[in-house]
Amino acid sequence: MAAAAENGMSMQEVATCVMSEFQDPKFQDEVETFINCHIEEFAVVHFDGSCPMQWVNIHRKYKKLYEDRLLKVLDDCDADCTRFMEYFSACSDAYGHDPNFKALMTALTASEDFSSFQELMFNAVRENWEPDECQKGPVAGYQFHQVEVALPENAEPGSSFLVNYLGHAHSLTVPPESEGVMTVTLQVPEALPASAGPPPAPPPPPPPPST
């Protein structure tokens, strides 16, 4: 027998409600507000392949937006969370090879993936970038971001060093006037973000597999 919520809704119907709520314009506005509030934290350079712990903490808060909304929908539908997870587990076993089901799961769990979240924030930095008065002259296809950079220890004027910024490695040069200083403002080139429309609507949830 197909799993159902207390009010008689099938788990397929509950899952449809969840996906609809995730795409609701009011919720998307809430998500966009969250992203915009944290843009500055991601417009920073770092020196190794790791990421600031602050990003991990922000991602936890981002995930909680979706987790709280999921629990609200399940409560509104009188649906048990465990049964909801069991429904998707059974569907994964039955439909895991199906491209439509994979697309559905990608949309449903996108907030859980830290790499996807980083790219979301990096794109927000690019899309909200505004040129500084003293920025380098325009180059087709590129933005030049003014960033504060802590110079490596014993860095000599004219020497180069690597930093990571918005997910890309950049080679920067220590400016000649930086002798004796620890932090400088440098321009980092970033390719213009590709214009993208809204993501396609995810496929509908599948029926529970027969047992």
- What pTM was estimated for this model as a whole? 0.84
Residue-wise pLDDT tens digits, 159-194: 888 889 999 888 888 888 777 677 888 888 888 776
Q: Could you give the domains of the chain?
A: 11-128 (1.20.1520.10), 142-189 (no CATH)
CA distance 98 to 92: 9
Instruction: Answer yes or no: are the C-beta atoms of 178 and 159 closer than 8 Å.
Output: no
Range of weakest confidence among 13-27, 81-95, 107-121, 123-137: 123-137
DSSP at 186 = E
Instruction: Answer yes or no: are the C-beta atoms of 81 and 71 closer than 8 Å.
Output: yes
Among 139, 122, 133, smallest CA distance to 193 is for: 122
What's the mean pLDDT in 25-31?
Answer: 95
According to the 3-state scheme, what is the secondary structure of 109-175?
A: HHHHCHHHHHHHHHHHHHHCCCCCCCCCCCECCEEEEEEEEECCCCCCCCCEEEEEECCEEEEEECC
Instruction: Answer yes or no: are the C-beta atoms of 74 and 9 closer than 8 Å.
Output: no
* Burial (CB count <10 Å: 0-12, 13-18, 19+), residue 51: middle
Q: How far is CA 36 from CA 122, 126, 200, in A?
A: 11, 12, 22
Task: Note the pLDDT of residue 136.
Answer: 56
